[in-house]
């Protein structure tokens, strides 16, 4: 299974990239780092600059058809930047249109709000996004992880880095289920 991890050039919460990435790898998946431009991206540990990561492909060089699933790490600046990039918003929309699973944690749901993809969905997120999500038509709950199948695809959401064990377990299970039956629907 090929899994896209979409991040901005700077400002994503590093652990929300690295831990799900490792979970996908341990499960035999092939994670690929995608950003709005080729080169390197910079993670953050809350508000502090952290490590640099090599981008596998800029968003201009790939499409949703190149992947089986999408993970959207959070961080405060990351999704705020991505939601202003039409190509990033359209990239995310295509996964929903194609019925592919999408996982988003923390503030990453902002790009889903921008793309009008949470209407009628049950989600969780960093608590400060609750009003944004409810105003966009979602039902927000305060849980470690939410798996919502009430839409065109499976949407896995989580609140914060402390919830990563539950988030990682859910994405591995849901992505594996998609490979097992979802592709053949």
Q: Mind listing the pLDDT tens digit for each residue in 109-140?
A: 999 999 999 999 999 999 999 999 999 999 99
Rounded mean pLDDT, 156-176: 97
Confirm whether 46 is a catalytic residue. Answer: no
Q: What is the pTM of this model?
A: 0.97
Buried (b) or exposed (e) across 110-139, using 16+ Cβ within 10 A? bbbbbbebbeebbbbbbeebbebbeebebe
Q: What CA–CA distance (Å, rounded) separates 113 from 150?
A: 16
Catalytic residue among 46, 54, 107, 148: 107
Q: What CA–CA distance (Å, rounded) separates 116 from 53?
A: 29
State residue 181's pLDDT score: 81
Taking a C-beta distance cutoff of 8 angstroms, is the pair 24, 171 a contact? yes
Residues 6+ apart with CB under 8 A from 117: 92, 93, 96, 155
pLDDT band at 183 (very low <50, low <70, confident <90, very high): low
State residue 22's pLDDT score: 98
Catalytic residue among 46, 54, 106, 148: 106
Residue 111's nearest CA partner among 125, 127, 101, 99 is 125
State residue 137's pLDDT score: 98
Q: Tokens 């831990």 label which residue?
A: 19
| Pair of tokens at residue 146 | 């939410």
Report, at the CATH architecture level, how domain 2-179 is classified.
Answer: 3-Layer(aba) Sandwich (3.40)
pLDDT per residue over 49-93, tens digit each? 999 999 999 999 999 999 999 999 999 999 999 999 999 999 999
- The domains of the chain are located at 2-179
pLDDT higher than 50, residue 184: no
Confirm whether 107 is a catalytic residue. Answer: yes
pLDDT per residue over 96-107, tens digit each? 999 999 999 999
61: exposed, middle or buried (Cβ count in 10 Å: 0-12, 13-18, 19+): exposed
pLDDT higher than 60, residue 185: no
């Amino acid at each position: 299974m090929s899994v896209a991890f979409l991040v901005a050039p700077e400002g994503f919460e590093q652990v929300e990239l690295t831990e799900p990435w490792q979970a996908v790898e341990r499960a035999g998946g092939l994670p690929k780092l995608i950003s709005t431009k080729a080169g390197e991206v910079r993670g953050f540990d809350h508000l502090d600059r952290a490590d640099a990561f090599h981008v596998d492909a800029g968003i201009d060089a790939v499409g949703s058809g190149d992947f089986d699933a999408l993970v959207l790490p959070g961080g405060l600046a990351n999704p705020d930047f991505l939601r202003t990039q039409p190509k990033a918003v359209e990239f995310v929309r295509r996964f929903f249109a194609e019925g592919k699973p999408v996982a988003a944690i923390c503030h990453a749901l902002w790009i889903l709000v921008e793309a009008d993809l949470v209407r009628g969905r049950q989600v969780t997120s960093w608590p400060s996004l609750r009003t944004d999500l409810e105003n966009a038509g979602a039902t927000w709950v305060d849980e470690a992880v939410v798996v919502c199948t009430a839409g065109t695809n499976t949407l896995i959401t989580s609140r914060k880095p402390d919830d990563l064990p539950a988030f990682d377990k859910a994405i591995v299970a849901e992505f594996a289920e998609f490979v097992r039956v979802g592709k053949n629907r």
